[in-house]
Structure 1
Amino acid sequence: MSTDSTSVPPHLAGNFAPVTDEVTLTELEVTGAVPPELTGWYLRNGPNPHEAASAHWFTGDGMVHGIRLDGGTARSYRNRWVRTPTFESGVTVYGPDGTMNLAAGKANTHVIRHAGRTLALVETSFPYELSHAAGSELDTLGAHDFGGRLHTPMTAHPKTCPVTGELHFFGYGGTAPPYLTYHRADADGELTVSRPVDVPAHTMMHDFHLTRNHVVFMDLPAVFSAERAVSPDGGMPFVWSDTYGARLGVLRRDDPHGTVRWFDIDPCYVFHSLNAHEERDGQRLVLLGMRYPGLEDGVHVPSPPLLWRWTVDLATGTLTEEQLDDHSGEFPRVDDRLIGLPADFGYAATAPLPELARYEPGVTGLAIHRYDLRGAGVSSHRFAPGRQPGEPVFAPADDRPGGPGWLLTFVYDATTDRSDLVILDADHLTGEPVATVHLPRRVPAGFHGSWLPDV
């Protein structure tokens, strides 16, 4: 059963409490019908401290949860810890002098596939490769450093260009410049670009934007604290700065070692971008993300995030910013085949973070939102009281980017202390789920995941 929320911190209570074992389950019960077009794995990563305690939700050991769908059936569920040196022997990411051990880390934030590799990610270390061999799916194979070419951490939010197949990412951190490095791997997984980017300090840069011809970095005022990094309380090593400022840095993809153009924005924090695209022959960049006005104590959220748009005019050197909607949401996603390209729709979940639950009284009516990015409003799938959705991942129905598909998400039911995989029709979000795969156990609240179809 989940932990009593009256006796422990919010990030270890209710469905944020860890599970204590690894299992493989078959013969899963299904309500409705799993679409026969879905054959592959839905994988989702998240913190699950194997010692059942952590100082912050962000710092628990990574555990990947997977459901195998196969031609209209739900074949199995499997969960496995990512066995990094931190998990196996308690090796810490930060040393006594604040330097980073890139082979250590929690690998607890995202799970993706690129160039045939399944990678568990966290932004403080190398990625960790997971097995996709039948019978050993999700077993840890080891750290992946791109053949020894990667010398920084890797962001948990890399982006695959749907046009070129290239994987764009960055690494940040350290006690001395360069605090930020941009990387690119080609469609075969070879690291082809690594270039330092000049920023004045080590800030918490969780995500970035990608367009057809540009990458855009978000240099925001959550600043690294060496004192906190070595503190015995094990909390997040960042503080909010009222003086650092906030800005966006634009780099041309065809000139990856060229000049980064910086544009100031109002101070804020953005954990997650939704998408970005170009207009006017690449001279105007439209960036979408979930914006917080700031962070309390470096990492705690003072208010719910809202969808904002930043428009960068490269020809005039100007920037505008505006709120697009007043529905709170986090963990935003689009059809991955439209990353960096114009997309009509985006998706997000309400209250996937423990601190955001207080903005949804009584956890009643938590929802998955579908934002019509053409300006036609928001539609929502609202869940019954006590049912708590996570990130919505888009799984396409055919080979048309932006075409029909489904949203996959784990949903926790507080009345049964169990979880389901819920499959929603992305084009008819207000309707009943297409299918609900019932699990006889709980999947703890987590971060990000992917639909990995068989290829």
Structure 2
Amino acid sequence: MTSTPPLHVAGHLAPVADEIDAVDLPVEGALPPGLVGRYLRNGPNPLPGEPSSHWFTGHGMVHGVRLREGRAEWYRNRWVRTRALAGESMLQADGTVDRAVGHANTHVIEHAGRIMALVESSFPHVLTPELDTVGPCDFGGRLTTAMTAHPKTDPVTGELHLFGYGMRPPFLTYHRLSAEGELVRSSEIEVPGATMMHDFAITDRHALFLDLPMTFQLGRLATGMPFGWDDGYGARIGVMPLDDPGTVRWFEVEPSYVFHVGNAHTDAAGRVVLDAVRYGAADAVAMWDGLGTDPAGLASGAAATGSARLHRWVLDPSTGGVTETALDDRAVEFPTVDDERVGREARYRYAVADSHGRAGIVKFDAERGTRAEHDLGTDTVAGEAVFVPSGAPGRAEDDGWLLSITTRRDGSASRLLVLDATDVAGPPVAAVQLPRGVPSGFHGSWIDDADLEPR
């Protein structure tokens, strides 16, 4: 007797059963010679035969493609060798939580020459450039909370800003790493309760926290994700001066939920401007309920049963006022920006879309209020599109490439797609044929070889 597998482990979401290596990958088109490094992408991947109750809870697996001198030198995939992969539980016999145990399945970044696989419930796990696991990292014992999967690097100072949230007090803690990778600051932030705070933002002078009504609910533990919409919690955005950590001014906003931030900046009038992909209250409930049964839409860009759109909040510290504006009507997810514009005004945002079975990679022009889209058709879904700058002196903001792993909806094949960011709607610059179907996952990074050189 056979049973139909849950949708979060089927088709383009289906996990792979093994780790492989492949070299000298076929390339359509011509890889830009300026791409010298690794594209790494993380996502959940249960072990073969292991039950999986929710898309978010599989073990971390990093897929990597090495590019150099116009060649795709290798592809490899590796589980992040966590203690959870070995069968251990974060919850200890005495009721405490061991943050060194976790799935490490959400993001993979580089900071201070260290590659880290991240999940918001645990410590980061350090990887080698060949994707072997070194182990969990608590920065010399200084990190005592979980670490967000969405830290932000200030492009001017090189500091890494991050936070951790918990289901028990302290519910929210801000942290800062120096450019050299040392944890130099931790400050508790008072919030009313435990919420799923997946992402946040920085400006050149602030950190912004999203205290939204997706709250911890013990009764939902059996679903695999113990959070749910709470009409009574309220919704607000906190603005914390980076030079006064722990002191936060809160701005009430319309109830909504945000998985992913696009960017933020401080404008000439001193107002704080935040762009993010926003689910309205009804869409947030539909999205969250849908994730447990059909996460395919969120995996490829938009909510399975609710719509998320690029949205802007303008917070005015001088008046306490808030302006909320929808920036576009296209349903999208996984917004990205040029890393050199993080926390600063940026003209362009990039995102992934999937509407009525047709997928694409979208470029938003905030200056002109327009968008361009690379259409992938009905048979293919796109992963998060990561911007890689060209490195040309005095380059325009969009002078570079977008990298995304695309996968056929049936999970049979994948490519690393390289788009010209100045002409997103145009044909790909190159496409690397990967040796297997790579399941649609979460987040990734381009890591230039120069970022891994000794400092």
The correspondence of residues 40-79 of structure 1 with structure 2, limited to 5 A, is 40-52=37-49, 53-79=51-77
User: Does 1:111 find its partner at 2:108?
Assistant: yes
Partner of 2:143: 150
**1:16-68: per-residue Cα shift (whole Å, max 9, x none)?**
11000001101211110000010000000000111353111100000000000
Q: Name 2:364's counterpart in structure 1.
A: 371
Q: Is the 8 A contact 1:239 1:297 kept in 2?
A: no
1:36 aligns with 2:36: no
| Conserved 8 A contact 2:12-2:411 | no
Structure 1 residues 59-112: Cα deviation after superposition (integer angstroms, max 9, x where no partner): 000000000000111110010000111001x22234578642201111000000
2-structure distance, mates of 1:163, 1:42: 23
Helix, strand or coil for the counterpart of 1:100? coil
Find the aligned partners of 2:113 and 2:410 in 1 and give their Cα distance: 40
Asked if the contact 1:98–1:174 (Cα under 8 Å) also holds between the matched residues in 2, the reply is no
Q: Which whole-Å CA distance do the structure 1 matches of 2:448 and 2:92 have between them?
A: 39
Stretch of structure 1 that moved more, 304-313 or 369-378: 369-378
- The percent of aligned pairs where both chains have the same amino acid is 51
- Cα-to-partner distance string for 1:153-182 (whole Å, 9 max, x where unaligned): 00000000001000000000132x220000
Q: CA deviation at 1:403?
A: 4.3
Structure 1's 336 and 371: CA in aligned 2 closer, same or farther, altered over 3 A?
A: same
CA distance in 2, matches of 1:188, 1:401: 29
Q: 1:268 aligns with which of 256, 275, 280?
A: 256
Q: 1:280 to 1:39 in 2, by over 3 A?
A: same
Q: 1:207 to 1:310 in 2, by over 3 A?
A: same
How many matched pairs? 430
1:41 partner SS: strand
2 CA distance for matches of 1:112 and 1:165? 14
Unpaired runs of at least 5, structure 2: 291-304, 451-455
Which residue of structure 1 aligns with residue 374 of structure 2? 381
Please, which of 177, 182, 195 is the counterpart of residue 187 of structure 2?
195
Question: Deviation at 1:413?
Answer: 2.1
1:300-338: CA deviations, max 9, x gaps? 354121000000001111111111100111110001111
Show CA shifts across 1:206-225 (max 9, x none).
00010000001000011112
Structure 2 length as normaliser, TM-score?
A: 0.91
Report the equivalent of 2:344: 341
Alpha-carbon distance between aligned partners in 2 of 1:309 and 1:32, rounded to the nearest angstrom: 37
- Residue 427 of structure 1 corresponds to 422
Contact kept in structure 1, 2:11 and 2:411, CA below 8 Å? no
Question: How far apart in 2 are the matches of 1:216 and 1:416?
Answer: 37
Distance in 2, Cα, partners of 1:263 & 1:77 = 46
Cα distance change on mapping 1:287 and 1:390 into 2, 3 Å: same
Distance 2:414 2:407 in 1: 4
- Structure 2 equivalent of residue 408 of structure 1: 403
**Mean CA deviation greater in 331-340 or 397-406:** 397-406
Instruction: Report if aligned partners of 1:338, 1:401 keep a CA contact under 8 Å in 2.
Output: no
- Answer whether contact 2:118 2:125 (CA < 8 A) is retained: yes
Q: 1:385 Cα deviation (Å)?
A: 2.3
Q: 1:54 is paired with a residue of what secondary structure?
A: coil
Q: Is the 8 A contact 1:223 1:298 kept in 2?
A: no
Counterparts of residues 100-179 of structure 1 (less than 5 Å): 100-132=97-129, 137-175=130-168, 177-179=169-171
Confirm whether residue 437 of structure 1 aligns to residue 446 of structure 2: no
What secondary structure is seen at the aligned counterpart in 2 of 1:337? helix
Partner of residue 298, structure 2: none
Q: 2:312: which partner in 1?
A: 309
SS at match of 1:87: coil
AA of the residue aligned to 1:106:
H
Match of 1:421, as an amino acid?
L
Task: Report the equivalent of 1:24.
Answer: 21
Please, what is the CA RMSD of the aligned residues? 1.8
- CA distance in structure 1 between the aligned counterparts of 2:139 and 2:400, rounded to whole angstroms: 33
State which drifts further: 92-101 or 376-385.
92-101
